Chains A and B, each alone.
Chain A
Amino acid sequence: MQTLSYNVTLTLEERRVGEHPAIITIERREGAQPGPIESVSIVPMMRQHGMASPEVVAQPLPDGRYRAEGLLLSMDGDWQIEVYIDRSDAREIATFQVRVWP
């Protein structure tokens, strides 16, 4: 998934109902010169049923990726998972459509 400044990859350890960790890989796009990332957080939304899961702040890993613990996918179906990349000057959002199985 591309934002203005980044190529963002979201990896879910399990695409099943429950609380699972997620790995977020953020690579700067060619030619982009964004400032340093202050925080990365992730919010799953089940728009069809009018609910969202609590926001989880991802922690940076030594290899430059980010890991979010306890991402709540409370039911099966089509989720919209938004990754917020916050800098001091702007927020960029990468949106993923994910089907979750029972």
Chain B
Amino acid sequence: MCANTVDLWYYISTMLCFCSQARRWCAAGALFVLLALVAAPPVSAHVGDAGPVQTIVMDASPYELAVTMTIPPALPGPLLVDIVPDGEPLPETFEVRLTRYGSPFPEKPAALLTLGSALSVTTRLDIDAPGDWEVEIIARGAPGEGIMRIPVTVFQPPLPPTTIPLAVALGVLVISLLAGAAVGAGGRHARPGFAGALRLLNYAAFASAVASAVLAWLQFTPLQAETTPAVPTYSGGAPHVNLLLSTEPQTPDAGAPLVMTLDLRDGATGLPADDLSPHHDALLHLAVIDDSGRFFAHLHPARIAPGLYAVTFTPDRPGNYTAYAELMRHGGSLQVIAGRFAVGGQVQIDTAPTPAPGLGVRSIGDLTVEVRAQPTPLRSGQLTTLSVIVSDVNGPVRDLEPWLGMGGHLMMRHVSDALFSHIHAAAPIAVPGSTLRYGPELRFVHNFPRPGVYQAWFQFRRAGEVVTVPVTLEVGSTK
């Protein structure tokens, strides 16, 4: 059978050798495949630990922007940057710059974008090599200027082990075809010496073609179902992070905006902790709550330098505040670091909803929200499902939008113990661009570790607006 196959190949290749047009196409095709395999190395690059498409939400005060980065499939290639203002106020223009991590940004922006009446702006930034990069976005508008700098790491995975043998096999195939064409040209294949050489070349071409086919099959067939992480992880986990919290002005007043700066430091070396992985569409989630629980803000400070984050907000009442920074280091797990600060001045007019005690129905804007729990009464040490059921004048709503990748968020703290929880709704996670909608019920499962009074804030988004439902819950002792 083998001899028949070889004779068949000999026949085909001889026919090809007689046809100069086919010969050229054959060689050109093989060369094209060879170049395609070698010239465009694939990249599995991404922002942090997530996939090649990653959305990061940051409060580049006074603007909240959701930036979706799409890593190019191969290098060199364009990094797609899509910027969506996430609510009012809207910026008018954007400057986008790209630099290698640790290098100054160029003076001239890579892109100047105008929002106009569009919902988003998109640009492409040329990435020519793997490694660490930073994207700077400066948003400008009537309320002022906001800045964010997002780190992007582009990885180029090692070539599959079959790549080099495949390239060699294809090279042998091309050379043997070209040499066969040269030997057989002008009818020389009929001469005894040339005929033998031609036969040998055809054997080589056949063998390399078979090898190429096998290696190409191996190259493009995944050997295992689960892919290994593209980003190497610390075997022992990353050290903890120290939070250095400061405000400007140093003694802020109620009703006046303050700039909060969060300086994150590695707990071991003291160097900037600049390896945060995005989790739920943000590098840093910050909950700012005053001691009474009447002021609550869920913010996403913008990264402005390695390990340095800043956000502007306006506390509405004097008193002592706690800022809970929720972050995840690359290769580590989530951690919450708290910092305290004080606000002076007088109580401002309160437009925020008053935390309503207990379960039951309450009105939030034009929505009616019922808070339920199962089982009741609430007790510590038992798994409890807390639910919000949302309706409007037309009845139950089913158009709650994903916010930070989830159907809903619940932040909760014990009024006297150092307990802070961030719980996500038991619902599918939304990927960027998802049309997934939730409602009318969002369920959160939690085990209250201690009895006592808890302040809770349910959050979800509808029609682009984040709705916060503050609730005070009294939790009894374990039965």
A residues in contact (CB < 8 Å) with B = 17, 43, 49-55, 72, 74-75
Contacts and interface: CB of A to CB of B under 8 A. Distances in A.
A75 B428 contact: yes
Nearest to B280: A49
A17 to B, nearest CB: 7
B374 A54 contact: yes
Contacts of B429: 49, 74-75
A78 to B, nearest CB: 11
Interface in B348-405: 374, 383, 385
B38 interface: no
Interface string B424-444: 111111000000000000011
B100 interface: no
Given A43-B445, A50-B422, 5 more contacts: A17-B428, A50-B423, A51-B444, A52-B446, A53-B426
Given A43-B383, A49-B429, A74-B427, A55 B445 contact: yes
B425 A51 contact: yes
CB-based closest 9 A-B pairs: A52-B445, A51-B424, A54-B385, A53-B426, A75-B429, A50-B424, A75-B428, A74-B428, A55-B383
Contacts, number: 40
Contacts of A50: 334, 422-424
A102 B425 CA distance: 18
Nearest to A82: B383
Interface string B73-104: 00000000000000000000000000000000
Query: Which of B334, B443, B445 has its CB near the most chain A CB atoms (within 10 A)?
Result: B445
Contacts of B443: 53-54
Contacts of B428: 17, 74-75
A51 B423 contact: yes
Contacts of A55: 383, 385, 445
Contacts of B406: 49, 51
A74 B424 CA distance: 11
A54 B446 CA distance: 9
A33 B280 CA distance: 47
Secondary structure of the A contact surface, majority rule: loop
A17 B426 CA distance: 12
Interface of B: 280, 334, 374, 383, 385, 406, 422-429, 443-446
23 contacts: A49-B280, A49-B406, A49-B424, A50-B334, A50-B422, A50-B423, A50-B424, A51-B423, A51-B425, A51-B426, A51-B444, A51-B445, A52-B445, A52-B446, A53-B443, A53-B445, A54-B443, A55-B383, A55-B385, A72-B426, A74-B426, A74-B428, A75-B429
A33 B131 CA distance: 61
Contacts of A49: 280, 406, 424, 429
A72 B425 CA distance: 12
Contacts of A43: 383, 445
A43 B446 CA distance: 11
A52 B385 CA distance: 9
B336 to A, nearest CB: 11
A38 to B, nearest CB: 14
Nearest to A47: B333
Given A43-B383, A43-B445, A52 B426 contact: yes
Nearest to B382: A55
Nearest to B430: A75
B457 to A, nearest CB: 15
A91 to B, nearest CB: 11
A84 B446 CA distance: 16
Contacts of A74: 426-429
A75 B436 CA distance: 13
A25 B280 CA distance: 37
B55 to A, nearest CB: 15
A73 B425 CA distance: 12
Given A43-B383, A43-B445, A54 B422 contact: no
Contacts of B383: 43, 52, 55
A53 B374 CA distance: 12
Nearest to B405: A49
Contacts of B424: 49-51
Contacts of A72: 426
B426 A54 contact: yes
A72 B429 CA distance: 13
Contacts of A54: 374, 385, 426, 443, 445
A90 to B, nearest CB: 15
A74 B425 CA distance: 10
Contacts of B445: 43, 51-55
Contacts of B334: 50
A55 B373 CA distance: 12
A37 B473 CA distance: 32
Nearest to B446: A52
Query: Which of A51, A55, A72 has its CB near the most chain B CB atoms (within 10 A)?
Result: A51
A53 B425 CA distance: 8
Nearest to B407: A74
